[in-house]
Chain A
Amino acid sequence: MSGDDVTGTGGAAGAGPGRGGLSRRLLARMIREEWRLQAELFGDRFALFPLVVALVGGAGFWLLTLTGTSAEAVAAGIHGLVFFFGLQVGTIGLVGRDALRDVLGDTTLLVFSARTLPVTWRRLLAVFVVKDLLYYSWLFLAPLALGYAAVALSEGVAPAAVGLLWVTTTGAFAFGVGTSLTLAGVGTRSRAAVAALVAAVAVGVVTGRLDAVALSPYGFYLDPSVRAAVTGFGPALALLVAGPLTFQPVGGGAARSTPNRYSRLRSAIGDDRGITTRTILEVARSSGSVWKVLFSMGVLFGVTALLVREVARATTLDPSYGVAVGTLLGLGAFTTYSWVTQFDSADEYLRYPVAMDRVFAGKRAAYLLLSVPAGLLYLALALVWVPAAEVAVGVVVFPLVAVYVYGVTAYVTGFSPNELLFDTPLFVAFGAALALVSTPLVVAALAHGQAPTTANGVAVGVSVLAAAVGVFLSSRAGPRWHRKLR
């Protein structure tokens, strides 16, 4: 086969499927596999997930319009968040069979069958990506667009614009997946090249030489023309093609030796049981290293800053950047939670003479050590245009909300935060718990212009209370999961 796959153009009888036929059949099987995987993990109730996305999304958009935020600003925020979600999905899909096994148990997916089937891993990966695009576009982005439609149509937005939003958010998702894919692909060959690529794009955006909006599907949403279609979808398409072309499977290269960092890190952070040390090393050595924490916080920071600016522009309100950014960064620390629990399972710790509450305490330390410095860095960046007093409130709010998010996530999901994606009751419970804290904080942020002292007091008070609840919940997470697992 010379490393190539079955094409059906030759063969003894010439009866095999052609390239397109093979890919279509693989795609159909991968979609069925994905459905069965979700059904196996969460039961049939995950089928309700699109409905919940539509309802929660619609409620969220409605609340934003109550604050005076325009439907267009909401659309901009959706594109940013969906791009970020695509980045996440692309990264998880690419960390390899080991990490997938850590997350899902002993699972073999079709995408990993290049060693046993006469199909190249490049084709498998490309079909896998198309499957992800179709799957998330229909199950997640279409309901999101429906939720948006319910609000946007009443605001006078044309129905065509809602359809366009679905197309361009699918593009934004593809852009995110393609970016992750390509960076991971290039990273399997040269980490320096990844750093150079990221630096070049960052310099281009900061200096204004690269128009990030025009080069993204959001550009086409703003200006639906042929030219904007080419410039808006072109980069996403190019990245989706470049990813599978550059990617080399993990483990396919030479064995990587690494100096012993464990002892030094463990001593530096005073970690007696080693759980925090192990977790930080695993996050740091997996795809994207600790930069993925910084990057995810950066996207949230950017989206929040944009939304706050839009609210200030569209209304007479003068929202507090500090409270808004602190709240959103704290909520966004959820992604760090998923990373610190991605590489091991709670079952493993049942083999060691260590109580589960100590395991969760170790994970919490890793989570805070990774997320808090990243969040504080962005709050420091906000000092460029936000008064120091406002940022100071954000510096208080952010870590306290992060502690709350840790407690709720650990208690509700244990070591499987990704279950939230498709377990509808769990998703609703988790969303309600976050709304309980984020709603008064967002109100405090919006009311800041009218009564700054009260707003700051409420924000700090709610955050302190939330952190106390978070500490309590994380102390109960160990015993709860100990009981559930045994």
Chain B
Amino acid sequence: MTAIETHDLTKRYGDATALDGLSLSVPEGELFGLLGPNGSGKTTTIEILTGQLDPTEGTAEVLGSDPVDDALSVREAVGILPEREDPPSFLTPREYLQFVGDVRGFSAADDRIAEWADRLGFVDELDTLSTDLSEGERQRVMLAQAFIHEPDLVFIDEPLVNLDPIMQAEVKDHMRDYCERGNTLFLSTHFLEVAEELCTGVGIIRDGELVAERDPRDLAPDEELLDYFRREVEPAAGDGAAPTPDAAGEPQP
């Protein structure tokens, strides 16, 4: 079964093209990483797939629903962790998760909130105003809001930002477990080592175009995802740009 399917997805803002004919297929149970330089179209892709933004052209299907025509169904079925967003400053994490439950139309019971707070390590902060939490604690609360309704598919923009090493390890374990149970994760990240360690499939996007797809586990033993990424996103030699480095970091002709 396919969790996400897109055909020629395009988004233009006037003359600027943010996404250029993206065709992608992500099977259920995959931990998929969308990689790309800054401004390459990763966030736009997530916003279209979650019904937050309409494409200019192309079609998409997420868990069997169309995010353009049936955005509410898609948003109900998925979890979303946006990049750089904090929980509401003047709510406590407990209140925020209750609010997320209400606005999502399910009751976020105390035991479920406590379970997620325990899993992500913010039990002691449950009744602290979010404005007084550290960046890492806020990120944990945001992770909890993406998973608390136990969706089949979660979109995450930079999951590990601001987390300490121990919490990073725990969140990685959680993401692996989550996908092993048949759920799907769509990850956007700049941390290639995280993608290499976790993802069962990656797509590389450059200037709004999907330029490569690969299972990081298929990389050669002496090849790193960073090398592969560089080859795909850096302009080819002869275009008047810098030469592409090889696996050892040496420039190639």
Contacts and interface: CB of A to CB of B under 8 A. Distances in A.
A351 B88 CA distance: 14
B52 A98 contact: no
A278 B91 contact: yes
Interface in A311-331: none
Interface of A: 96, 98-99, 101-102, 106, 250-251, 254-263, 266, 271-275, 277-278, 281-282, 285-286, 343-344, 347-355, 485-486
B53 A486 contact: yes
B54 interface: yes
Contacts of A343: 88-90
B86 to A, nearest CB: 7
A98 B132 contact: no
A342 to B, nearest CB: 10
Contacts of B90: 281-282, 285-286, 343
Interface in B97-118: 98-105
Given A353-B76, A486-B54, A285 B99 contact: no
A266 B108 CA distance: 14
A384 B99 CA distance: 43
A257 B127 contact: yes
B138 to A, nearest CB: 10
B89 A99 contact: yes
What class of interface size applies to chain B in its complex with A? Answer: 35 or more
A395 B209 CA distance: 60
A456 to B, nearest CB: 42
B112 to A, nearest CB: 14
Contacts of B53: 486
Given A261-B95, A343-B89, A255 B102 contact: no
Contacts of B105: 273, 353
Contacts of A257: 92, 127-129
Given A344-B88, A353-B73, A255 B129 contact: yes
Interface stretch (B77-85, B158-166, B186-194): B77-85
B184 interface: no
Interface string B198-231: 0000000000000000000000000000000000
A89 to B, nearest CB: 20
A251 to B, nearest CB: 6
Contacts of B10: none
Nearest to A358: B103
